[in-house]
Amino acid sequence: MRKPKQTYSPQFKAEVAIAAIQAGDSLAQLSRDFGVHRNQVRQWRDRLVDRAGILFVESNDSRQLRRRGGPRRNEAAPDGTSSRGDRPGEQFASS
């Protein structure tokens, strides 16, 4: 019987990709540490590196919201709620 395809959470993929960028370990060592194939580690690392620049591109929607006086990323909205969600990568800072 065939083993079902393994799926990984976006958080796990990010953790592996960040480790691949930061670590001096080989892909083979990271593969053993995280229990995924070394080609998968390489693909996630390359995907993170390729898309990193997108994080610093501001979307038209957020610019238009600020022009209309809407809340900025770290400001509270008029109803008292924060417009800021959990920042990606915070769970990795304490490691």
Q: What is the pLDDT of residues 8-34, one digit of tens each?
A: 999 999 999 999 999 777 899 999 999
Residue 88 lies in a domain: no
Residue 2 lies in a domain: no
Residue 63 lies in a domain: yes
* Number of separate domains in the chain: 1
Residue 33 lies in a domain: yes
Residue 78 lies in a domain: no
Kindly report whether the global pTM for this prediction surpasses the value 0.85: no
What gap in Å lies between CA 75 and CA 37, rounded to an integer?
42
Q: What are the tens digits of pLDDT across the range 33-64?
A: 999 999 999 999 999 999 988 887 776 666 66
What gap in Å lies between CA 78 and CA 93, rounded to an integer?
31
Residue 32 lies in a domain: yes
Percent of the chain with pLDDT over 90: 42
Helical axes 10-22 vs 27-34, angle rounded to 10°: 150
Residue 85 lies in a domain: no
User: Would you state the pLDDT for residue 23?
Assistant: 78
Domain that holds residue 27: 10-71
The more confident residue out of 94 and 5 is 5
Query: How many other CB atoms are found less than 10 A from the CB of residue 31?
Result: 19
Residue 87 lies in a domain: no
The more confident residue out of 94 and 44 is 44
